Amino acid sequence: MLAASYNANDGALMSEEHTGLSAGPSRKTRVHRSEKSWRGVFARHRASGLTIDAFCRVEGIGRSSFNRWQMLLNAKYSLARRARSAPSDEVSAPEAGDRFIDAGEMRVDNMG
């Protein structure tokens, strides 16, 4: 059986998977967080002064999930920062609908 609830603290959607046997240790809880929610998690971590391992234990977050989202958001931030700092006179990549391909200057010789 699946049950879903909403965590008002960080806007995370929680879904619980039940095996139907017992509500003991076999019960798993998955929290699906949005990007905004993960940003809040990282802000709380910075403010906590805890190590990543200690913070993840307190928050009930898997260390691998913490690391993965940290990597994803850092990469996204890095790309956005590079895009903002790029000179505006650079040639942009063609969009999917573009049909013109610049082949540079073409020269035709009349040799035969």
DSSP 23: S
CA gap 8, 31 in Å, rounded: 12
Helices (H), the chain: 35-48, 52-59, 63-85
What predicted TM-score, i.e. pTM, was given to this entire model? 0.51
Q: What is the mean pLDDT of each run of 10 residues along the chain (112 residues)?
A: 51 48 59 92 96 95 94 87 71 64 66 60
33 close to 41: Cβ distance less than 8 angstroms: yes
The counts of H helices and E strands in the chain are 3, 3
pLDDT at site 101? 65
pLDDT at site 2? 47
Task: Give the domain ranges of the chain.
Answer: 1-32, 34-84
pLDDT at site 66? 95
